[in-house]
Chain A
Amino acid sequence: MSKKKQRTYQQDIVGDSINSLRKVVEPPKENGSHLMKYLLIGISAAFLFLMLALPLAVVVMNACKEGWDAYREAVMDEYTMKALQLTLLATVITVAVNTIFGLFASFLLSKFYFRGRQVLAALIDIPFSISPVIAGLVFILTFGNMGWMGDVLDKYNIKIVFAVPGVVLVTVFVTFPFVFRELFPVLNAQGKDEEEAAALMGAGGFTIFRRITLPHIKWALLYGIILCSARAMGEFGAVSVISGHLRGKTNTLPLHVEILYNEFNTTAAFAVSSILVLLAVLILVVKSLVEWKKE
């Protein structure tokens, strides 16, 4: 009993000495450090305003410059609506495809060890390191009339280049790594013990995925889907090369903005841009909701 008492007493002494040390070590409060603090915060705020807030405000202001009617006319325009439809279609297909394959790829690469793993992982990352314009060109060279698969596609009357399938394909290509990149680290960190344990108890692949893997990755998956959607909607370079800019047919929203802008139809260009801004804000809200829910 007395031993125990002694120990707590000693702990108190140690605790106090640490506290007294802490007082000495704490940085002295000076006015200089305050100044530095506000200066740095000020620089950051100014940068954010200049680079993000101001351009967004300009888009909205320019879009509304000629009044509500002009704005509505530009937005409700037949070609704008077609472009919006195509953008949404491409985004939905892209997200679906990349989610499914991203899931498979990240599961395979994180839970199984085989020769060529690294190569496969590097291949999946290629779209990140290739310029979208090059990606578009690659698809033209592969599926175009003069291209590698041109004859075959011609024979079966399949049009990819300068048509909707091409737009979807390049969008899929450019945004391919997003879901994978979000899932892979999470799955890797999880290890495969839980899956092995479940398999040893006789659970099948789908049961394991649904009950062990999915609960672990659901937030990362949702996050990957959100990022992928955002990027797919805004894709310009690759789509620009492969679409052929056929108004009402292969024009996506970003392409439509460019066309309007080049025709000196600034108000309309900004009005259509504001649709994209709106979609982006929507995605941001969803993303924040996801992050808040995750907490």
Chain B
Amino acid sequence: MYVEMKEICKTFDGFQASDHVSFGIEKGQMAALLGPSGSGKTTILRMLAGLDMPDSGDIMINGILVNDLPGNKRGIGFVFQNYALFRYMTVADNIAFGLEVQKKGKAEIKERVEELLELISMEDLGKRYPHQLSGGQKQRVAFARALAPRPGLLLLDEPFAAIDAKVRRELRNWLKEMIGRVGITSIFVTHDQEEAMEVANQVIIINQGKIEQIGTPKEICFHPQTEFVSDFIETDRWIV
């Protein structure tokens, strides 16, 4: 297992956000944390990233216990829900930031930034500022920025929530293809079951801080193990 959570519990002011959460994700997998809003999926992601600390339980990444390791030592890239691009830096500077902080050489940074701009097909837009980009472009920059320091694990918080429905599907395929090409283990949070089924090859369904079911999209669709799972998948399908 590349990522493992063991018996994680977390409460916020008496609210149980994670209730004995345990799961594992193999290297190279694309996992989705799926659940209704307020189910505690983002909390799990933030604990993996070291932005929140679990009250009890262990988090392992790449075979190392990371409970007491700060986020920047865990070898992760994080894509925020609203991308959190540095608004006073250009696209290129945004991507370069993580490398600059690591005190990499100028030539190396330049090369990596160009490589990533090419990967996201934005070679000509390196000098733009975030507010001059469309939603889809912002997401691509956030993706490139998270990848720049070559993390072993990519975490994405509702990566498509801030994008209008039309572009979303397109971007979904793009992201899936990109992640496949880079070959990085990824976990993303979503409340959209269609999104989870289409992009992920492992789906973890969460409700009220507890894991309801873990499985491939097929298993979840055709063999829901709890009433909640079958309800959640069903009702959602009607809406879509």
| Chain A interfacial positions (CB closer than 8 Å to B) | 191, 193-194, 196-203, 207, 211-212, 215-216
Contact = CB atoms under 8 A, between A and B. Distances in A.
Given A200-B49, A200-B78, A194 B72 contact: no
Contacts, number: 53
B102 A197 contact: no
Interface string B77-115: 010111011111100000001100110000000000000
B76 A216 contact: no
Contacts of A193: 80-82, 84
B86 A200 contact: no
B159 interface: no
A112 B13 CA distance: 15
Nearest to B102: A202
B215 interface: no
B102 A200 contact: no
B101 A201 contact: yes
B101 A197 contact: no
A197 B80 contact: yes
B101 A207 contact: yes
Interface string B177-197: 000000000000000000000
Interface of B: 49-51, 71-73, 76, 78, 80-82, 84-89, 97-98, 101-102, 145, 149
Main secondary structure of the interface of A (DSSP, over half): helix
B98 A212 contact: no
A215 B149 CA distance: 24
B76 A200 contact: yes
Contact of B149 (A198, A201, A212): A201
Contact of B88 (A196, A199, A216): A216
Interface centre among A196, A200, A203, A207 (most CB of B within 10 A): A200
Q: Which 3 residue pairs are nearest across A and B when measured between Cβ atoms?
A: A193-B84, A202-B72, A201-B98
Contact of A215 (B71, B76, B88): B88
B101 A202 contact: yes
Interface centre among A198, A202, A211, A212 (most CB of B within 10 A): A202
Nearest to B94: A197
Given A193-B80, A193-B82, A207-B101, A200 B71 contact: yes
Interface centre among B51, B81, B82, B86 (most CB of A within 10 A): B86
A211 B98 CA distance: 12
Given A193-B80, A194-B87, A215-B88, A200 B51 contact: yes
A202 to B, nearest CB: 4
Given A203-B97, A203-B101, A207-B101, A198 B49 contact: no
A207 B98 CA distance: 12
B102 A198 contact: no
Contacts of B98: 201-202
Given A203-B97, A215-B88, A216-B87, A197 B78 contact: yes
A110 to B, nearest CB: 16
Given A193-B80, A196-B51, A207-B101, A201 B86 contact: no
Contacts of B78: 197, 200
A163 B72 CA distance: 51
Contacts of B97: 198, 201, 203, 211
Given A196-B51, A203-B97, A211 B72 contact: no
A176 B76 CA distance: 41
A193 to B, nearest CB: 3
23 contacts: A191-B84, A193-B81, A193-B82, A193-B84, A196-B84, A197-B84, A197-B86, A198-B97, A198-B101, A199-B71, A199-B72, A200-B49, A200-B76, A201-B97, A201-B98, A201-B102, A202-B73, A203-B72, A203-B101, A211-B86, A212-B86, A215-B88, A216-B88
